[in-house]
Amino acid sequence: MTRNASETKTKIVCTLGPATHDERVLREMIRAGMDVARVNFSHGTHDEHAMAIDTVRRLADEEGAVVAVMADLQGPKLRIGTLLEPVDLTHGDWISFVDASGEASADGTHHVLPLPHPELIHGAKVGQRLLLDDGVVEVEIREVRPDALIARVILGGALTSHKGISAPEGSSGVRALTDKDRADARFAVEQAVDLIALSFVRAPDDVCELRALLDKQGDAGRAIHILAKIERREAVERFDDILPHVDAVMVARGDLGIALSPQEVPMAQKDIIRTCNRAGVPVITATQMLQSMTDSPRPTRAESSDVANAILDGTDAVMLSAETAVGRYPVEAVTMIREISAVVEAQMRGESDEAPFEGAVRVHPVTDAIGDATARIADRLRARLIATTTWSGYTARQIARERPRQPIVAFTPQETVLRQLALVWGVTPVLTPPSAGTDEMIASVTRALCDRREVETGDRIVITGGIPVGGGGKTNFIKVHTI
């Protein structure tokens, strides 16, 4: 099953889990349109992840599909310690968090809770809010001591052992990359994953730390793209500083919805997507896209609208989490995303003639200008499709950011780039050997498109590429070609 370029343009990221252990289910998800398989390192063992990655790649090869693998690092998961019994908190109660990184010194008695994260205590500030159990309990810090925090309960509730704790306002003092993440990242390199998602990014330094770790692993590590998950207020505030250091972005609305107020999340989503579009950086919208389909064969109207609005915002991809990891209807959830995409994209008007990116930073001015012009020429001539040859994937991403009406078929000799382009809106990646010259390139592209039945005799296409072949940012020609 070779996926045709005329199919929907919004990409689908699917989280693997118990629901995908059945190969038949996973194969059907690929056939339904899964573009990226997310391996969640918050759960499972390396052996289990290795088996899942091997299975995805084998089934994708059998189906003639291009499916990228994204390793999602757990990041710093902060939790309170063990409580003797559940603690009932009400508004106005006083509560203490005591450093329990060594021998436990508290068990919840008298509202004194063990906190095995001294870095959270050291980074805390008076007036800062702490959220426990995903926001079920909210407290405000009133006093910071060397080994304890004194807080007042704002929103009460029942608290049990090992519930999560987060500091949505300001820095928690906790770095994004943990020792577990480092071990997982090295394992991900061994598995030759295509992308690594870094959780709880705060600042550019977090991304640079992961990049340095990957670079030390040699060529295999350097080839992997880094995706920043935006789920902290600091990341939203410093997004313009973070973006130049990453290859992709995820609007992780679950934890972002804790760090920000619910009212702020929709506008943050739109701003992040728009900024990524301007830079030509792929962006994923994630969390509870079709949450009800975890247990139901149909989504709610609100969920359908949420997916549609994310597509209208300009997202490259939509991510399914519990829906495919543990849900009862994983294949139906993928199919539903594809069907919503088809309806929405049919109503979207291409922006290639609206110059939507005036003033955007130009990394490779010539390539960027050719990418802009390619989309406009294809639009004016009502071309059948856009074909681009790319070594690094950069040219394809620059064309895609214009959101042209025409499908984009990207030819690359690099297998890793092939899979990484599976995340980019509107791009159908195709593996092809490098060409020695322009004439050979055009002949090779034409032959491949005809073999794939993407074009017919008389169709007009726009071809762009670079000669000599090799390295990124070397696109230097456009040709209008009739089959």
Which residues participate in catalysis according to the annotation? Answer: 38, 79, 229, 287
Helix (H, G, I), strand (E, B) or coil at 215: helix
Q: Please choose, from the candidates 107, 118, 252, the residue with its C-alpha nearest in 3D space to the C-alpha of residue 172.
A: 118
Question: N- to C-terminal Cα distance for the chain?
Answer: 24
Find all residues with CB under 8 Å of 447, minimum gap 6, and list them. none
- Residue 445's H or E segment, with its range, is helix 438-451
C-alpha to C-alpha distance for 183 and 103, rounded to whole angstroms: 26
Which amino acid is it at 353?
D
Number of Cβ within a 10 Å radius of residue 85: 10
Here the contacts of 190-194 (C-beta below 8 Å, separation 24 or greater) are 190/220, 191/49, 191/50, 191/53, 191/69, 191/71, 192/220, 192/416, 193/39, 193/53, 193/69, 193/70, 193/71, 193/224, 194/68, 194/69, 194/70, 194/224, 194/225, 194/416, 194/419, 194/420, 194/422
Q: Please choose, from the candidates 368, 385, 390, 356, the residue with its C-alpha nearest in 3D space to the C-alpha of residue 450.
A: 385
Q: The tokens of 417 are what?
A: 């780039």
C-alpha to C-alpha distance for 66 and 428, rounded to whole angstroms: 9
Q: Please choose, from the candidates 120, 40, 53, the residue with its C-alpha nearest in 3D space to the C-alpha of residue 80.
A: 120
Provide the H-helix boundaries in 169-216: 179-190, 204-215
- Residue 26's H or E segment, with its range, is helix 23-32
Cβ atoms of 360 and 312 closer than 8 Å: no
Q: Please choose, from the candidates 290, 394, 208, 222, the residue with its C-alpha nearest in 3D space to the C-alpha of residue 14.
A: 290
